[in-house]
Amino acid sequence: PWSVISDAQLVNEELENLRQLNLRSVVKRAVKENLKLIAKEEEVRSAYEALRVARSKLMPKLNFAMTQSLIDDDRASASLGSQYERTLKSGLVLSQLIYSDKARGNINIEKELQRSREAELEEVRLAIIYDAVAAYLNVLLSRVGEKIQKSNLRLTRSNLDRAKVRVSIGIASRSELFRWESEIANAKKRVFEAQARRRQAMVSLNQVLNLPLDEQ
C-alpha cells in the first residue's frame, strides 16, 4: 500500500533489463530518432529537388528525333527515284543555354533558400540536443529529489516515534504529537509530488528520444 511504499527504503528498486542511458547515448539517439528533427531533415532533402530543377535550365540538353514516311508504289515509281516508298530519318540535337538572367536568378534564389533551410535544420538539431540533455538531467534531479523527500519522511516518522515516547512518559504534551503527525502528512504529500515529477520527467525524456512514453 501507498502508506508503506511512500516512506519505505526499497532494495533493488530498479527493474532488470531496463534500457541504460547516459548523456552520450541520449544525445546520439535524440539526433537520430527525434521525430521533429527527422521531419526537418526530410524537408531539407526534398528541397534539393527545387535547386536541381533550377540548375537544369543551364545544363546541356540532348534531344533525339525519328520520323518515318511511307508512300505507295505508284508515286515512288513516278518520282524517278527522288522519293522512296519508305523513308526513315533520325537525328540528335544538342542545345546549350549560354546565358539567361532569369535562369541565373532562379538558381541564386534557390541557393539562398536552401542555405536558409539548412540553417533552420541546424537550429532545430541544436534545440533537440538541448531538450534531450535538459530532459535527461531533469530525470536525474527528480530521482534525487524523490530520495531526499523519502529520507525527510523517514526522519519525520522517527521524530513522531520519539514524540510518542516523550508523551507516554509525561515529558511532552500531546500538541507535540499532533505537530509531528501534521508534519508526516505534509512529508507524504511532498513524496507523492516528487514521484509525480520523476514520472513526468521520464515521459518528457522518452518523448524527446521517440521512445514509448511509459518506458522506464
Q: For position 78, what pLDDT does the model report?
A: 67
Give the type of residue at 46: S
Q: 165-184 burial, b if ≥16 CB within 10 A, otherwise e?
A: eeeeeeeeeeebbeebeebb
Going by C-alpha positions, the residue among 138, 150, 158, 133 that lies closest to residue 191 is: 150
Distance of alpha carbon 78 from its chain centroid, rounded?
Answer: 79
C-alpha to C-alpha distance for 43 and 52, rounded to whole angstroms: 15
Contacts of residue 94, Cβ cutoff 8 Å, sequence gap at least 6 = 60, 61, 62, 63
Residue 128 and residue 36 in contact, taking contact as beta carbons nearer than 8 Å: yes
Q: For position 59, what pLDDT does the model report?
A: 75
Q: For position 103, what pLDDT does the model report?
A: 72
Q: For position 80, what pLDDT does the model report?
A: 64
Partners of residue 66 on adjacent β-strands = 90
Backbone angles phi, psi at 22, to 5 degrees: -120, 180
Mean pLDDT of the chain, nearest integer: 84
Judge if pTM exceeds 0.95. Answer: no
pLDDT in tens, 140-167: 999 999 999 988 998 998 998 899 898 8
